[in-house]
Structure 1
Amino acid sequence: MRTLDPLLQDFRLKHLTLRNRVVSTSHEPAYGEDGMPKDRYRLYHLEKARGGVGLTMIGGSAVVSPDSPPSFGNLLLYRDDIVPWLRRLSDDVHEAGAAVMCQVTHLGRRTSNFTGDWLPLVYPSRLREPAHRAFPKVAEPWDLDRIVADFRDAALRCRDGGLDGIELMAYGHLFDAFHSPATNHRSDELGGTLERRMAFPRRVIQEIRAAVGPDFIIGIRMSMEEDLAGGLGREEALELLRHYVHDGIDFLSVIKGNIDSDAHLAAVIPSMGTPAAPFLEFAGELKRALDIPVMHAARIQDVATARYAVREGLLDLVGMTRPQLADPHLVRKLAAGEEDRIRPCVGANYCLDAIYDSGDAKCIHNPATGREQALPHTIERSPRPRRKTVVVGAGPAGLEAARVLGERGHQVVVFEAADAPGGQIRLAASSPRRADLIGIVDWRVTEAKHSGVDFRYGTLAGTKEVLAEEPDLVVVATGGTPDRSFLTAGQELVMDTWDVMDGSFRTHGNVLVYDDNGTEQAMDATELLATRGARVELVTPERQLAPGVGSMNSPAYLAAFTEHDVTITLAYRLTAVTRGADGRPVAHLVSDYADHPLERHVDQVVVEHGTLPNDDLYFELLPGSSNLGEVDHEALLAGSPQTVNRNAAGSYQLFRIGDAVNSRNIHAAIYDALRLCTAT
């Protein structure tokens, strides 16, 4: 029976019928091995196919030439041995009911001269690339002849690998660098007029189309307005696209903006705190001007917005890429009438920042994404007897433990000292720009209640309260408390970032914020203080500001700091705080690089140095536990049950997770809980 939901209606793309309008657009999670989409890569996309997506697109920026070396784990389409890996992936995805395509590109200058085979990077003009700091050489005719052939051969490998089509990348890479007046400064036959600037891109399309034949699908993901001084405007982009369609392009994936800097990249791929679907109306205007199918993805993170885009004719296909990192079963749940059970994308952009921070993409609150070989997205009921479980703490770790144990069929009681769940997430979400983080909490509470988890708020659980439940298993997820212990003097004279974020501390004077953590906490506190009128100096011992905050999230902080004139001091360490003659705090700073101490006389000092484990309850419960708190790491990593027994008189297993162990982040806390509890 034909569905009335526009998202679930099928769509004809050339000869290919897609089962619905939802797409996971091209992106690179850096899950490849040796440049190949091996098992980890395949299972990541297969999960989305099993989850109902109509089209999944692999190889975000899969490269066609050796002089386009990977910048973050890109697939190597210039190697013949990629074909069987593509074939295995495409066969599995097709069997699960989805179509699959690959993005194809030459990175041009958007990579490094100092990686891969160390070949010189090529570009239309000698313009430095800001993000990767590369100086390219001006491409010669023989370079372009070779690269055109490389594009053709890469497309053939995709076709021979069983893919349904490819997508050419045309924003920030070599292809579009020729047709954009901002990056093509050539004076030869490939520069100047629009006709000359489009000559190389047209050669690429024509060569690919001639090689793959009329039926293979070729799309383009293209900036249709670069928002760049001297850059490509909408009307010129439309003129270009009409020629590209004539040459063989079958669909357009709309981009608005450019990726020449971190600030511009963050605007193209918007994070939390920005308007939803900011370019949707722009994409709709283009669709009305074109005769080819149009897709688009940019902060379309909820089903209602996606449904509106298709229903109102703004898009033919809607990209929900980050939402499907959060929940690869998004479409399946929608079709089953379980829209309210979709794990929300909160827009943290941890998925992208984690690639540069830790080597691959990670959803901030779905640790199974990218770990499909070891962790499930759907929790199965335990085949073992039901166990009485006590979880202490309703922060991200405790909530995930409760959710998973509940779905495993165990009887779960959660004690939480506060009157609401969330722990440190509530502090982070108190920043207006990061308010969407609360979705991590709300979803888990709702899911846990589906399994009958008993939440008891306002209860400071001690040993007596825990043991009164006669538990078989106790999970301590009590989090941590701010660490001021690094100071040699003056711990009582400082505030911490928690004091700022929970509203207990406000000032309009001079504030020194000291960050020896390097993630969002001090950045949030600095932004909040500055926007409320304080004159803030942010000090860090690092050689750069907040190295744990990636390029997708740092622009918003830097914009606020610039607007409110925040002073940044690098390479200084806070050692002590004393009271000055006027009664105000004096911050004592030293440098690791020179004997040049500083003193700052301020109205308040705020420190961020991670947390100390709140572990008193854990150690009180240790003597009565059967495992004495021990975790069998081999079993944990293998997804096997914990069977350690060090105390025959112990009546319960005892584990601690999250910041109750050591100071980490949201993803680590949830990952702790998921892999421990799925085997329980």
Structure 2
Amino acid sequence: MTNDPLLQPYQLKHLTLKNRIMITSHEPAYPEDGMPKERYRAYHVERAKAGVALTMTAGSASVSRDSPPVFNNILAWKDEVTGWMKKMADDCHDEGCAVMIQLTHLGRRTRWDKADWLPVVSASHEREPAHRAFPKKMEDWDIQRIIGDYVDAAERMKAAGLDGVEIQAYGHLMDQFWSPLTNDLDGPYGGSLENRLRFTFEILEGIRKRCGEDFLLGVRYTGDEDLPGGLTLTDGLEISQRLKASGLVDFLNVVKGHIDTDPGLTDVIPIQGMRNAPHLDFAGEIRKATNFPTFHAAKIPDVATARHAIASGKLDMVGMTRAHLADPHLVRKVIEGREDEIRPCVGANYCLDRIYQGGMALCLHNPSTGREIEMPHAIAKAEAPKRVTIIGAGPAGMEAARVAAERGHAVTVLEAADQPGGQIRLTALQERRREMSSIIAWRYDQCERMGVTFRFNTYAEAEDVLATAPDEVVIATGGLPHTEVLAAGNELVVSAWDIVSGDVKPGQSVLVYDDAGDHAGLMAADIAAAAGAKVEIVTPDRSFAPEVMAMNLVPYMRALQAKDTVFTVTWRLAEVQREGNGLKAVLGSDYGPVRRERLVDQVVVNHGTRPLDELYFELKPQSKNLGEVDYEALSNGGLQAVAPNPGAAFRLFRIGDAVAARNTHAAIYDALRLVRGL
């Protein structure tokens, strides 16, 4: 028995949910051939085993052939989906976890050149900025066809044994009917609010008639588009009351905002540096006005906020979706009184940004998410404990230390700085990205709990490493900025790290040359602009910061545009020359023999890092494996067994940026899969 509001059961019609924590519908883009196969099932079952009360799959499953997936969505219009969904539902039900799915027609939120190359359809010809397709305005036969598709898809889910379905109505076809901005139909489906809602209610009526009263039915919808001319809060309250009064739905799942642009999407699903739970009070208003079961999720990353949402009566079920990507065992840790051991979601949004670029969802600092089959979250003990020495306490080194300690090895970490963090320490200096520090803090706490030995202020030499008498040595020393990329004038530039760290103050007129496309270049530009500098960002790429990705780009663009920053694409910095008290930056192009010049007083170069690898190469001849890695074993979760120099005392490996400049996820994934194979 417990008094924790989060752990109280909730009665939703005939279904008893064992606690108040749910995973809201989202598409991790794990389907294969449009079906939720083994990878998809393993992802949801892992979280079901850990105690979550309700998991909602898909975000969203497509009900029609002319709603082609742009996020590798589940194809709910195919009969074969029933068998795959049944396997998932059965496995989750065996763990006491309820299962629902979100159904949708994307409407204009897709492209005509996907799948069968059918026209995109909507309630008007208005194009969605994000996907750029001009839709066909729906005819009467389109409307009736799609209503039938929704009902058929719901029936497939009932046949699969799911507890219910949720209809998606924000940014997709359903609320393209609702909004005056995207509905200029005549007659019964356009004009008044009642007419604009007719499409929705005919779908709900059809599902209820086909699937019966014992099949739960809800709507996830925007209660306020927050757009001039769009749906207002008044409209949202009216829609909420109509949904309740219809007697067709069993719960409301409310959001606020619009998702037709990257900035709009980012406000609906906030990222790091943005306020936690920004729409919780709004959802509470809907619940108070309707006195009806209300669900909500939007950057509720921590247990304390979730507990408040339930205890204050704002919500009946609280969604902690990205939090469960970071730690699938969140609920179990709450039940066991181990909240301080929950791996925190840091809001980096690597998960969603990857989806919107066509990849599958991965957590920035939990590489097992989405890889539950080949890289399980549980770490097995090693057959024989070893002495493992790790050089470097950045994200790669800290993960290596954590995993080695979980395996039962005796671990020593040598770090040149006075505290752990590596490049994360630089990143977290920017207030907007300070949540990144939790990546290190969580690992340091775990390592301390397991008895890892840390030696800070130790710039490790070979003899320092050998003095630990190691069986395994892991080099995680990271890299240093590489700025020597010019034909002339390399000595006249500073690195993005120099600006971010504060070692060099921004000038008054600053050219940031970003040829890496990651956060460092934008952070340097942001700092310079905030200090009052006139800033121009130059990149040889066709777009800015492609490694930062869409939603993470939004806060930078808002800050930089407010400071009148100039953005210049497709130009490459060729050389820098002194000119009086300033600098002349000469730009060239990959597209032809053209040149441009800029007169500035500071040039900042962001061109990634080069490995800090001297120690590795010094130790390599003395190692048992001569630094060699068995890539097949690394890729498949096997044990490392390469030993071309068997008489040596230790094996040697390097990970993260000590190998090559990549990102935080790559560094942590390197460490996890290597060390669990030692």
Whether TM-score is above 0.5 comes out as yes
Other structure's SS at 1:552 match: helix
Other structure's SS at 1:542 match: coil
Counterpart in the other structure of 2:602: 604
Moved more, 185-194 or 11-20: 185-194
Counterpart in the other structure of 1:417: 416
Partner Cα separation in structure 2 for residue 148 and residue 321 of structure 1? 29
Moved more, 646-655 or 138-147: 646-655
Partner Cα separation in structure 1 for residue 497 and residue 338 of structure 2? 36
Partner Cα separation in structure 1 for residue 601 and residue 495 of structure 2? 14
Is this contact kept in 2: 1:625–1:654, CA < 8 A?
yes
Is this contact kept in 1: 2:516–2:608, CA < 8 A?
yes
1:340-391 CA distances to partner (integer Å, 9 max, x unpaired)? 0000000011110112346111101000000001112122222x21101100
Counterpart in the other structure of 1:618: 616
Matched, 1:188 2:163: no
Is this contact kept in 2: 1:357–1:548, CA < 8 A?
no
Counterpart in the other structure of 1:221: 220
Counterpart in the other structure of 2:256: 256
Partner Cα separation in structure 2 for residue 413 and residue 171 of structure 1? 51
Counterpart in the other structure of 1:632: 630
Equivalent residues in 2 for 1:152-551, closer than 5 Å: 152-245=151-244, 246-357=246-357, 359-382=359-382, 384-551=383-550
Is this contact kept in 1: 2:581–2:601, CA < 8 A?
no
Partner Cα separation in structure 1 for residue 171 and residue 635 of structure 2? 40
Partner Cα separation in structure 2 for residue 42 and residue 431 of structure 1? 38
1:546 Cα deviation after fit? 1.1
Counterpart in the other structure of 1:103: 102
Partner Cα separation in structure 2 for residue 605 and residue 180 of structure 1? 47
Moved more, 149-158 or 548-557: 548-557
1:598 Cα deviation after fit? 1.4
Which letter maps to 1:646?
P
Partner Cα separation in structure 2 for residue 635 and residue 315 of structure 1? 47
Which letter maps to 1:397?
A
Partner Cα separation in structure 2 for residue 509 and residue 488 of structure 1? 25
Query: Where in structure 1 are there 5+ consecutive unaligned residues?
Result: none
Other structure's SS at 2:187 match: coil
Is this contact kept in 2: 1:123–1:174, CA < 8 A?
yes
Partner Cα separation in structure 2 for residue 359 and residue 219 of structure 1? 29
Which letter maps to 2:665?
H
Other structure's SS at 1:198 match: helix
1:574-617 CA distances to partner (integer Å, 9 max, x unpaired)? 1222222x142221210112322112221111000010000000
Matched, 1:591 2:586: no
Other structure's SS at 1:131 match: coil
Which letter maps to 2:658?
A
1:416-452 CA distances to partner (integer Å, 9 max, x unpaired)? 0011111111111111101100000100000111111
Relative to the length of structure 2, the TM-score reads 0.99
Other structure's SS at 1:543 match: coil
Partner Cα separation in structure 1 for residue 612 and residue 428 of structure 2? 21
Is this contact kept in 2: 1:205–1:247, CA < 8 A?
no
1:485 Cα deviation after fit? 2.6
Moved more, 603-612 or 247-256: 247-256
When residues 477 and 357 of structure 1 are mapped into structure 2, their CA distance, relative to the original with a 3 A threshold, is farther
Which letter maps to 1:233?
T
Partner Cα separation in structure 1 for residue 638 and residue 194 of structure 2? 63
Other structure's SS at 1:441 match: helix
For the aligned residues, what is the CA RMSD? 1.0
Moved more, 91-100 or 373-382: 373-382
Matched, 1:137 2:136: yes
Other structure's SS at 1:189 match: helix
Other structure's SS at 1:249 match: coil
Which letter maps to 1:57?
M
Counterpart in the other structure of 2:92: 93
1:192 Cα deviation after fit? 1.0
Is this contact kept in 1: 2:6–2:306, CA < 8 A?
yes
Partner Cα separation in structure 2 for residue 355 and residue 172 of structure 1? 16
Other structure's SS at 1:87 match: helix
Other structure's SS at 1:586 match: strand
When residues 358 and 66 of structure 1 are mapped into structure 2, their CA distance, relative to the original with a 3 A threshold, is closer
Is this contact kept in 2: 1:206–1:247, CA < 8 A?
no
Is this contact kept in 1: 2:70–2:358, CA < 8 A?
no
Partner Cα separation in structure 2 for residue 662 and residue 477 of structure 1? 11
Partner Cα separation in structure 2 for residue 607 and residue 289 of structure 1? 54
1:247 Cα deviation after fit? 4.6
Is this contact kept in 2: 1:326–1:363, CA < 8 A?
yes
When residues 323 and 562 of structure 1 are mapped into structure 2, their CA distance, relative to the original with a 3 A threshold, is same
Which letter maps to 1:144?
I
Counterpart in the other structure of 1:35: 34
1:508 Cα deviation after fit? 4.3
1:198 Cα deviation after fit? 1.2
Is this contact kept in 1: 2:240–2:290, CA < 8 A?
no
Moved more, 240-249 or 472-481: 240-249
Partner Cα separation in structure 2 for residue 104 and residue 357 of structure 1? 22
Partner Cα separation in structure 1 for residue 58 and residue 270 of structure 2? 21
Which letter maps to 1:590?
G
Which letter maps to 1:305?
T
Partner Cα separation in structure 2 for residue 649 and residue 305 of structure 1? 56
Which letter maps to 1:307?
R
1:292 Cα deviation after fit? 2.0
1:487-511 CA distances to partner (integer Å, 9 max, x unpaired)? 2222221110110111111134101
Counterpart in the other structure of 2:120: 121
Other structure's SS at 1:397 match: helix
Partner Cα separation in structure 1 for residue 478 and residue 583 of structure 2? 30
Q: Say how many residue pairs are matched.
A: 677
Relative to the length of structure 1, the TM-score reads 0.98
Is this contact kept in 1: 2:507–2:602, CA < 8 A?
no
1:528 Cα deviation after fit? 1.1
Equivalent residues in 2 for 1:49-60, closer than 5 Å: 49-60=48-59
Matched, 1:674 2:672: yes
Partner Cα separation in structure 2 for residue 320 and residue 553 of structure 1? 20
Partner Cα separation in structure 2 for residue 228 and residue 358 of structure 1? 28
1:551 Cα deviation after fit? 1.7
Moved more, 389-398 or 552-561: 552-561
Is this contact kept in 1: 2:240–2:286, CA < 8 A?
no
1:238 Cα deviation after fit? 2.5
1:219-267 CA distances to partner (integer Å, 9 max, x unpaired)? 1101001101111122222222333331511101110011121111100
Which letter maps to 1:326?
A
Partner Cα separation in structure 2 for residue 152 and residue 241 of structure 1? 22
Is this contact kept in 1: 2:482–2:609, CA < 8 A?
yes
Other structure's SS at 2:616 match: helix
Other structure's SS at 2:593 match: coil
Q: Percent identity?
A: 53
Which letter maps to 1:259?
I
Counterpart in the other structure of 2:60: 61
